[in-house]
Amino acid sequence: MKNKHIVFVLLACWLIVNTANAQVPVSWKVNVSVAPALRPSFLNGGRLLLHVTKQKEREPRTRSEITVGITPKNWDGNTAFLMDTQAKEALSVGLDKLGDNPSGLYYFQVVYKQNPDDAQENVPGNLYSTIDSVQVEANLSLNLTLNTLIPPWTIVSNKFVKTVEIKSQLLTAFRGRPSVLKAAVLLPSGYFDNPGKTYPICYRIPGLNGRYTAVNTVLGNKEFADWWFTPTAPQVIYVFLDSQGPYGDTYQVDSENNGPCGRALTEELIPEIERQVGYKPASKMRFLTGNSTGGWVSLGLQIFYPDFFNGTWSYSPDPVDFEHYGLINIYEDKTIFYNRYGYLQPGRRTIYGEPTFSMKDWIAGENLASRTGNYLISGGQFGAYNAVFGPKGKDGLPSLMFDPVTGEIDHAIAKQWEKYDLKKVLERNWTTLGPKLQGKIYIWMGDMDGLYSNVATRFLQKFLDKTENPKSDATVRFTAMAGHGQEWSDKAVLTMIAERVSGK
């Protein structure tokens, strides 16, 4: 039976490789040029992404049914680059679904990812073209011009909003170029009426690749804003952190690839924020919260810095147990693309359990987005995981935990992920960590989490329930039939923090 399983996995890997290398029948040739005014801003070595959609009401670069990616070689931006969908190095998603004789009106847009400090696509420093509508054919020639430079982020102008921006000495030394840390601070309604008062402070970690500009969205919610500026609203300083990193979300922790992000946060950024707002660390009212990736980070920071932070409210955290990394056991499974029963491994689902996206498709999309042609610098979920949790490779880039084409797991690298496996960290260090974490952990999870993260949280809960000396008092709450982040609420978290501080 074991031999049959091995044969199946080898056959599945052969099919993946040959499918990935197969040419699609559609032949599109897109001449991409850079507008003369933007050529001084052009950086060599970026990734070109062609986005195509039938949806008129949205920009293709924000969501498309078809994407083609290619990294131009030796392109200086002064001449046009021919983006050929039939080129060997071109990767595509959705193009094969057009068939041999596609037709209809489609909208085309091209993006050039070039920002070396941010692996995301629609971020400051990258270039994109205006949208062109095209009657699609199997053979198509098109000219597109990169004529827009994405400008820096801006923060809403409000008396109660403060922006903090510092040059990180730690990250600058690690990366060899200036590295900046940013945060947005939302002050409570009574802040200016009570000079010298020490308020509780809560650090809100964003979801995957979130930015400190989240304060704009929160204050743009009229219901929240109307509530926040009333005298009865929680009197808590609310800080919006930023997760920008060269390989995607940094997860705010020290890592071999991203550098000392945890130290930079706790030794550089947080002290400066608290100096500016007048927070007194001796008050021991420094809290954390976040949803999804922010849920993992808020829990992880509380565990890695148990004395520095005084409590966390973690919602729908990413997998906290790598034996249950979604539905994958990274330490024992052979591949992330197929499960032990030989079926495609799902990566997402509805709250009714219907798979909507396979791991194979997920990684294909990340491979396409990366200038390396694999998920290494995709800026996506698995590119980020790989950079944060894994070791640095011989080429100076992160080492891949699994093969980008076959999904085969490199168990030697997976073993090195253990230091970020939160359940293992707690299991191995409970004698010292347990007493420091009493009264500090609150976790919420939907039991039909769309990313299957509830499985890992269930196993974390099993461990916590069995702890002794001390017996953990962590609150781990599940809601039946609830999906990813379904009960996440800034208002709810801030209210719980206020109640905690008041002793209710």
The tens digit of pLDDT for each residue in 410-466 reads 999 999 999 999 999 999 999 999 999 999 999 999 999 999 999 999 999 999 999
Beta strand 286-291 with 312-315: parallel, antiparallel or unpaired? parallel
What proportions of the chain, in percent to the nearest 5, are helix, strand and coil?
Answer: 35, 25, 40
Going 125 to 130 to 135 to 137, the CA torsion angle's sign is negative
Is the pLDDT score of 302 beyond 70?
yes
Is the pLDDT score of 246 beyond 60?
yes
Q: What whole-number distance in Å separates Cα of residue 242 and Cα of residue 162?
A: 14
Cα dihedral 205, 209, 215, 217, rounded to 10, equals -130
For 329-343, what is the HEC assignment? Answer: CCCCCCECCECCCCC
User: What is the structure's pLDDT at 10?
Assistant: 41
User: What is the CB-side half-sphere exposure of residue 374 using CA atoms within 13 A?
Assistant: 14
Share of the chain above pLDDT 70, in %: 95
Beta strand 475-479 with 441-446: parallel, antiparallel or unpaired? parallel
Ranges 69-83, 95-109, 312-326, 389-403: which has the least confidence: 95-109
- Which listed CATH number (1.25.40, 1.10.1200, 2.60.40, 3.40.1580) goes with 2-149? 2.60.40
For 389-419, what is the HEC assignment? Answer: HCCECCCCCECCCECCCCCEECHHHHHHHHH
Query: Residue 47's closest CA among 1, 81, 21?
Result: 81
How large is the average pLDDT for residues 191-220?
Answer: 96
Structure tokens, 84: 């050929």
272 or 196, which is more confident? 272
Query: Residue 6's closest CA among 456, 425, 504, 338?
Result: 338
User: What is the structure's pLDDT at 23?
Assistant: 53
Instruction: Please provide residue 456's backbone torsions phi and psi, each rounded to the nearest 5 degrees.
Output: -60, -40
- 115, containing H or E segment: none
User: What is the structure's pLDDT at 20?
Assistant: 44
What band does 306 get if pLDDT is binned at 50, 70 and 90? very high
**Which residue do the tokens 């955290």 mark?**
317
For 419, counting Cβ atoms within 10 Å of its Cβ (0-12 exposed, 13-18 middle, 19+ buried), the class is middle
How large is the average pLDDT for residues 238-248?
Answer: 97
Query: Residue 107's closest CA among 49, 26, 51, 48?
Result: 51
Q: Are 218 and 474 in contact (CB under 8 A)?
A: no
Q: How many CB atoms lie within 10 A of CB 415?
A: 12
Is the pLDDT score of 267 beyond 60?
yes
Structure tokens, 244: 């920008």
Query: Residue 456's closest CA among 339, 300, 318?
Result: 318
- 166, containing H or E segment: strand 161-167
Q: Looking at the chain, how many residues does it have?
A: 504
pLDDT tens-digit profile of 325-384?
A: 999 999 999 999 999 999 999 999 999 999 999 999 999 999 999 999 999 999 999 999
Q: Are 186 and 219 in contact (CB under 8 A)?
A: yes
Share of the chain above pLDDT 90, in %: 90
Structure tokens, 349: 């689902």
pTM of the predicted structure, to 2 decimals = 0.93
Is the pLDDT score of 6 beyond 60?
no
Is the pLDDT score of 16 beyond 50?
no
pLDDT tens-digit profile of 83-121?
A: 999 999 999 999 888 877 778 899 999 999 999 999 999
Is the pLDDT score of 298 beyond 80?
yes
How large is the average pLDDT for residues 78-85?
Answer: 96
Query: Residue 247's closest CA among 75, 69, 389?
Result: 389
**Sequence ranges of the domains in the chain:** 2-149, 161-321+421-502, 323-419
User: What is the structure's pLDDT at 326?
Assistant: 97
How large is the average pLDDT for residues 242-258?
Answer: 97
Q: What whole-number distance in Å separates Cα of residue 91 and Cα of residue 362?
A: 14
Structure tokens, 332: 């024992």
Is the pLDDT score of 11 beyond 90?
no
Structure tokens, 142: 């098109």
User: What is the structure's pLDDT at 15?
Assistant: 45
Q: Are 111 and 49 in contact (CB under 8 A)?
A: yes
212 or 20, which is more confident? 212
- Report the chain's terminal Cα–Cα distance, integer Å: 59
DSSP state of 482: -
Mean pLDDT taken over the chain: 94
Angle at 211 between CA 283 and CA 93, to 5 degrees: 145
DSSP state of 36: G
Structure tokens, 195: 């000079």
For 247-278, what is the HEC assignment? Answer: CECCCCCEECCCEEHHHHHHHHHHHHHHHHHC
User: What is the structure's pLDDT at 24?
Assistant: 59
pLDDT tens-digit profile of 456-492?
A: 999 999 999 999 999 999 999 999 999 999 999 999 9
Is the pLDDT score of 18 beyond 60?
no
- Which listed CATH number (3.40.50.1110, 3.40.50.1820, 3.40.1280.10, 3.40.50.920) goes with 161-321+421-502? 3.40.50.1820
Measured in whole angstroms, how far is the alpha carbon of residue 178 from the centre of its chain?
23
Cα dihedral 481, 485, 489, 490, rounded to 10, equals 170
